[in-house]
């Protein structure tokens, strides 16, 4: 087991939102991260509760769209996952694109699949600190996995990027 893989790689948290599930895009979206080289180290399907949404979107309480956002997020089960890789937090945010999918760059997930500000397919942690909190909010330690993708040993990162 390469120690650097276990201890040095950054982790981020994502939710494939109800619109991604309803539209059958969950696999397509997850595969973009896999293809990029990011590693899935935890994943599960859950039905969000209002209480969990209140906690997860606490920074948006008081916004006029908050109630609608909670109704949307609790409408259908979602898939939560943790992705691991160098600079994973920033990289995944970049791959998601702007919050308003109509303004998101083509080539991003929201820019390629979405047209809405609310139904924008995916949540991704916005900083390393948020990622840590969100991972702990949705996953217990025994749901997290440490494993190696064979390619990582030689081809995903150069030797000087592994630290």
- CA of 97: how far to CAs of 47, 68, 93, 126, in Å? 25, 22, 6, 12
Phi and psi, residue 153, nearest 5°: -55, -35
Residue 118 as a binder of ligand IDP (CB under 6 A): the answer is yes
Residue 149 beta carbon to ligand IDP: minimum distance, rounded to whole angstroms: 27
Catalytic positions, please?
A: 123
**What is the rounded distance in angstroms from the CA atom of residue 5 to the CA atom of residue 32?**
21
Neighbours of 38 (CB within 10 A): 25
Q: Is there binding between residue 69 and ligand IDP (CB under 6 A)? A: yes
Kindly tell me which residue out of 8, 45, 55, 65 binds ligand IDP, with binding defined by CB under 6 A.
65
Judged by beta carbon, residue 44 or residue 63, the one nearer ligand IDP is: 63
Contact positions vs ligand IDP (CB under 6 A): 60, 65, 69, 99, 117-118, 120, 123, 126
């Amino acid at each position: 087991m390469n120690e650097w893989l276990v201890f040095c790689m950054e982790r981020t948290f994502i939710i494939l939102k109800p619109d991604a599930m309803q539209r059958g895009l969950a696999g397509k979206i997850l595969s973009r991260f896999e293809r990029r080289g990011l590693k899935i180290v935890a994943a599960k399907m859950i039905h969000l509760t209002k209480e969990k949404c209140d906690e997860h979107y606490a920074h948006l309480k008081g916004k006029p769209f908050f109630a609608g956002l909670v109704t949307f997020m609790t409408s259908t089960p979602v898939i939560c996952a943790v992705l691991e890789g160098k600079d994973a937090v920033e990289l995944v945010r970049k791959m998601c694109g702007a919050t308003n999918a109509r303004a998101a760059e083509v080539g991003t997930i929201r820019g390629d699949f979405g047209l809405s500000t609310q139904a924008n397919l995916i949540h991704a942690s916005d900083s390393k600190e948020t990622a840590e909190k969100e991972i702990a909010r949705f996953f217990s330690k025994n749901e997290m996995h440490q494993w190696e993708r064979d390619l990582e040993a030689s081809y995903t990162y150069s030797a000087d990027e592994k630290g």
